[in-house]
Structure 1
Amino acid sequence: MSDTNPPTPPPLPAQPADVAARTTDPVGAASTPAYDPATDPDNTGVPTSLKGEADDIGRGFFRALFDLSFRTFITRRLASIFYLVGLIAIAIGFIVYFVSGLVSGINALFFNVGAGVSLIIATLILVPIATFLVIVLLRFLIEAVVALIAIAENTERTAEHTRTGSGPH
């Protein structure tokens, strides 16, 4: 059973998307300032000019640290510090494994030349590769946690706008 009639296209909206985006709702415009991505300090797309309980810009670090309700997230503030400490720990591990591998390879040269050369070559190849993979994994984990926090913050702001009706219409 084939139908010879072509499918009908979906109906078009009343106005193009760019026109709809430029028009503002006077009720929403009065309660919420316009978001300017150029002034976004953390480049997440989340406006920091919103007022309310979800907006914890004015809170101090220690107040946020001891917030027992966990409504204030400090992870985004500390992500770069965690990354720096992780990179330092990885660098220390790299130096320790690299030097100990080379020393062990040189010591093994006195007893078995083949084993010593193999250990030195393995150290020269495997330690930098493993270090690179650990750095990528560290970055991936920190970015994943920061993304989850950003999602939670965005969801809280969306829920707040839904409850108060102050969001764009």
Structure 2
Amino acid sequence: MFSVDIFDNHGQQYSIGNIKIGFKDQDENTSTYKKIQNLFTDNIFDSLPPIFFSIGQDVDFYVNLYKLPYDIKENFLKSLNDIIYNIPLLETIQNERVFNTSLIRGIGTETIRTQFKRVLDGKSPLSDFKFYFIREEQDNIGSIKLQFNVYANSTPSTNIHAIIGRNGV
């Protein structure tokens, strides 16, 4: 795992979060760090070769990236072959062993396809929530309190509710 800090042209530092990087046909005996060191002996590079791919480790990573100026964000995502930015790349590497055993360990493919992409596109992350419908007691009608729980990305969907009254409406 790598920690990402980005500096703009004015020296302003942006702490983004953690990222994991893998490469095609990677095995347990070759670390990403060693592979990068072998390719770039001075540890300086403008972009990773196409065999590499990367992914941020939580929604906050992509929230922080989204806040950056567009050109900085786009350059960073392209340079590190980010699979959320480049969904077709995700399709080609999703069966790589390192992808499943390391890069998305603890995240889940549904989260990366929905939450991460959603945030990178400037939308709010989906979140679980609950709410109550409360009707106070009235003449000849008792009080009622209904709790509704909504879970992001659940199947079946939990964000559709209907209350039907005594008259069927």
TM-score range, shorter chain: under 0.3
TM-score (norm 2): 0.19
Larger relative contact order (C-alpha < 8 A, sep ≥ 6)?
Answer: 1
Q: Which has the larger radius of gyration?
A: 1
TM-score (norm 1): 0.19
The structure carrying a bigger strand percent of its residues is 2
